[in-house]
A = this chain, B = another copy of it.
Amino acid sequence: MIGVAQIGCYIPEKKLSNLDLLEKFKTDEAFVRDKIGVVQRARKEKDEKASDLCIKAFENLLTKQNIRSEEIECCVVVTQNPDFNIPHTSAIVHGALDLPESCASFDISLGCSGYVYALSVVTAFMQANGMNRGLIFTADPYSDIVDENDKNTALIFGDAATVTLLDADAKLKPLGFDFGTKGSGFKNLISQDKLYMNGRAVFNFTASTIPDSIHKLLDKLKLNKEQVDKWYFHQGSKYIVDTITKRAGLDKEQVIFDMYEYGNTISSSIPLLLSKDILHFQKGQKIALSGFGVGLSWASAILEQS
């Protein structure tokens, strides 16, 4: 069984402060800190593309783990802000990292549920094809599409990228997943020229759907929530993570929250959190992940350290 071995991250050094925008948006520090949960947003350079962010995340991975390019059998990029629509960004990353020609590459188009989906899609794909080592990249640079005058989105999103090394020998393995889609609500989070988000609709969707998804998954795996040690939710906002925590009846101490210094980084939010803990799980420990947003879409997973 394929598991998560290590995670590399890239958060741009440049930060834009929400505290500078309090007057512009007629709001206050308590709101940006305690409701949104974002004090500053990480911001890539204008000409940096998704593939550039992926490559920087890979460079970070190399500082944590020795990897030979020729061992990589699978290269997947999760993005909805690709370099181009044609070709897929994973091909560009494949070329830049000089991965072997036998390496399978494709992009998955999903937003904030993308990382959790990709953990299932890519581990299953690798397993079915007898692959031992693969990479899942997440990179969704929303700074290219956010309208800086739109209060509903301008204070929230940050740029980042991650790369997760999947390995047949890794000890953190998925036990099971729950997926769902509410396609009838797709217009609530959409980018035509610029990003539009109906914040209230997305919030209501999440607050009702995610606690259900967690309980459904626990039931399926015959677990109760006390058997889960840590909860990693997509960092949509502090208010949504707090609301899920309350509605699902979780212990606040076990729910990870950390987006103050870089913002909501879409599919990168969960692996950014996980990267800090990845080497510290104890045998038998279980963790839960849950992503939700664009689609509307959600995905939850429980992983166990073996």
Contacts and interface: CB of A to CB of B under 8 A. Distances in A.
A266 B90 CA distance: 18
Contact of A189 (B86, B177, B183): B86
B186 A294 contact: no
Contacts of A111: 86-88
A138 interface: no
B105 A108 contact: no
Interface in A218-252: none
B110 A109 contact: no
Given A95-B186, A106-B108, A85 B85 contact: yes
B93 A183 contact: yes
Interface in A61-84: 75, 80-82, 84
A104 B180 contact: yes
A295 to B, nearest CB: 4
Interface stretch (A25-33, A160-168, A190-198): A190-198
A278 interface: no
B107 A108 contact: yes
Nearest to A97: B183
A185 B95 contact: yes
- In this complex, which of A86, A117, A129, A294 has the most chain B Cβ atoms within 10 angstroms of its Cβ? A86
A181 B101 contact: yes
A179 interface: yes
A171 interface: no
Most buried by B among A88, A96, A177: A88
B183 A99 contact: yes
A19 interface: no
Given A120-B129, A123-B128, A190-B87, A181 B94 contact: yes
Contacts of A104: 117, 179-181, 299
Given A88-B111, A106-B114, 11 more contacts: A86-B294, A87-B297, A91-B295, A104-B179, A104-B299, A106-B121, A107-B108, A107-B110, A120-B129, A124-B124, A127-B128
18 contacts: A75-B181, A80-B87, A85-B191, A86-B191, A88-B110, A88-B297, A91-B294, A91-B295, A102-B179, A102-B180, A103-B180, A103-B181, A105-B295, A105-B297, A106-B121, A107-B109, A124-B129, A127-B128
Interface of A: 75, 80-82, 84-96, 98-99, 101-111, 114, 117, 120-121, 123-125, 127-129, 145, 177, 179-186, 189-192, 195, 294-297, 299
